[in-house]
């Protein structure tokens, strides 16, 4: 197979901002993490790695159940990147932390 | 090994965090919702975890105790420090 | 078989060491799907695939009583002389208590 042709700057990236750069800009700020399944996590981002495992501080873990939202407060966590669906910089609309 | 201490205010990567919590009491929450509380012995790059004095909580209720426990990393949702 | 292990061998530096130290011991394994097994650990690999002998498997099911809505927890046990555990189903492994 012939390799696809690339422009001089590598594969085209219309946004000029890599996803990892976006996350990097969130370090030190609140971030809202929506997991696969009925779970959300809000916290202050301290760092992350290539798997988007994240260190979060002053965390609220929010579980959406039929009975309503169950919020658990946590100190500092290492969140496994495996089950993350969405990241929203700036925290949740009604930041419960 | 001269590990430079992570500078306050700068990024604390997952690796830094893990180094800082070895031997400390932690909560490990699994995707299933089950919590394990115990002392973190060690862990690896898959987030496999070895814990001591482990207590298993299902829906907040203590269900089991294990002297040592190995938790397979793919089940782990998060590892949390416990506020003193 | 009976050669003495150096002292370092008894330390847990990484999580899998806990499993290595449990070879030939009876271990408890919690699996997905409410399954628990106890058996003698003969072999394992880095995926936590395992060969266990003299296994007792416990399956737990919870039923809700139609009238009283009480939870009825049923456990079934069976023994299996020798089996292979696929690592991806493993949640937790606990070695026997060591003093």
Interface C:B, ≥3 CB–CB pairs < 8 Å: yes
CATH topology for the B21-81 domain: SH3 type barrels. (2.30.30)
Tens of pLDDT along B11-41?
789 999 998 999 999 999 999 999 999 999 9
The ranges assigned to domains in chain B are 21-81
Asked if B12's CB is within 8 angstroms of A74's CB, the reply is no
C-alpha to C-alpha distance for A39 and A71, rounded to whole angstroms: 10
Q: Which of A3, A77, A12 is nearest to A39 (CA)?
A: A77
Asked if B68's CB is within 8 angstroms of C18's CB, the reply is yes
CA-based nearest residue in chain A for residue B77:
A80
Decide: helix, strand or coil at residue B83: coil
**Domain around C64:** 25-94
Binding partners of C (≥3 Cβ pairs within 8 A): B
Per-residue pLDDT of chain C (99 residues; tens, 9 = 90+): 455 544 446 677 899 999 999 999 999 999 998 899 999 999 999 999 999 999 999 988 888 888 888 888 888 899 999 999 999 999 999 997 654
**Higher pLDDT, residue A17 or A7:** A17
Question: Is the per-residue pLDDT at B48 higher than 80?
Answer: yes
- Kindly calculate the radius of gyration of chain B based on its CA atoms and give it in whole angstroms: 14
The answer to whether position A79 is within a domain reads yes
The tally of CA atoms less than 13 A away on the side-chain side of residue A91 is 15
**Domain around A38:** 28-89
Question: How far C94 CA sits from the closest chain B CA (Å)?
Answer: 5
State the pLDDT confidence band at A43, using cuts at 50, 70 and 90.
very high
Listed in sequence order, the residues at least 6 apart from B46 whose beta carbon sits closer than 8 Å to its beta carbon are: B72, B73, B74
Asked if A27's CB is within 8 angstroms of B77's CB, the reply is no
The shortest CB-CB distance from A47 to any of B12, B29, B83 is to B12
C-alpha to C-alpha distance for B77 and B26, rounded to whole angstroms: 13
Asked if A48's CB is within 8 angstroms of B79's CB, the reply is no
State the pLDDT confidence band at B10, using cuts at 50, 70 and 90.
low
Instruction: Assess B77–A contact: CB distance below 8 Å, yes or no.
Output: yes
Per-residue pLDDT at A65? 84
Task: CATH number of the domain at C33, please.
Answer: 2.30.30.100
The answer to whether position A54 is within a domain reads yes
State the pLDDT confidence band at A17, using cuts at 50, 70 and 90.
confident
Q: What are the b/e assignments for C16-48, b being 16+ CB within 10 Å?
A: bbbbebbeeebbbbbbeeeebbbbbbeebeeeb
Question: How far A51 CA sits from the closest chain B CA (Å)?
Answer: 10
Q: Is residue B68 within 8 Å of residue C34, measured between CB atoms?
A: no
Instruction: Assess A74–B contact: CB distance below 8 Å, yes or no.
Output: yes
ipTM metric? 0.82
The answer to whether position C5 is within a domain reads no
Domain count, chain A: 1
Domain count, chain C: 1
Per-residue pLDDT at C8? 47
The answer to whether position C89 is within a domain reads yes
Q: Which of B20, B81, B83 is nearest to A77 (CA)?
A: B81
The answer to whether position C12 is within a domain reads no
The answer to whether position A43 is within a domain reads yes
The answer to whether position C40 is within a domain reads yes
The answer to whether position A84 is within a domain reads yes
Asked if B76's CB is within 8 angstroms of A76's CB, the reply is no
Instruction: Assess A20–B contact: CB distance below 8 Å, yes or no.
Output: no
Per-residue pLDDT at B4? 46
């Amino acid at each position: 197979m012939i390799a696809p042709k690339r422009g001089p700057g590598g594969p085209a990236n219309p946004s000029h901002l890599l996803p990892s750069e976006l996350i990097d800009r969130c370090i030190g700020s609140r971030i809202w993490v929506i997991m696969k399944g009925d779970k959300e996590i809000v916290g202050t981002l301290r760092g992350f790695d290539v798997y988007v495992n994240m260190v979060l501080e002053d965390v609220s873990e929010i579980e959406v159940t039929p009975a309503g939202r169950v919020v658990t407060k946590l100190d500092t966590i290492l969140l496994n990147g495996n089950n993350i669906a969405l990241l929203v910089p700036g925290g949740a609309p009604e930041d419960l932390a | 090994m001269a590990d430079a201490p992570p500078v306050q205010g700068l990024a604390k990567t997952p690796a830094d965090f893990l180094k800082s919590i070895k031997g400390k009491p932690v909560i490990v929450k699994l995707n299933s919702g089950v919590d394990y509380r115990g002392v973190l012995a060690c862990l690896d790059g898959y987030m496999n975890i070895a814990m001591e004095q482990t207590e298993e909580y299902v829906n907040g209720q203590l269900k089991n105790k294990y002297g040592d426990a190995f938790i397979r990393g793919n089940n782990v949702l998060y590892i949390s420090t416990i506020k003193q | 078989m009976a050669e003495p292990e150096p002292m370092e061998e008894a330390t847990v530096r990484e999580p899998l060491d806990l499993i290595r130290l449990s070879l030939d011991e009876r271990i408890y394994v919690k699996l997905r799907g409410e399954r628990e097994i106890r058996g003698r650990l003969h072999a394992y690999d880095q995926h936590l695939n395992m060969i266990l002998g003299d296994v007792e498997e416990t399956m737990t099911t919870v039923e809700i009583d139609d009238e009283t809505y009480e939870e009825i927890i049923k456990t079934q046990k069976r023994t299996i002389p020798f089996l292979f555990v696929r690592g991806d189903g493993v949640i937790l492994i606990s070695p026997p208590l060591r003093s």
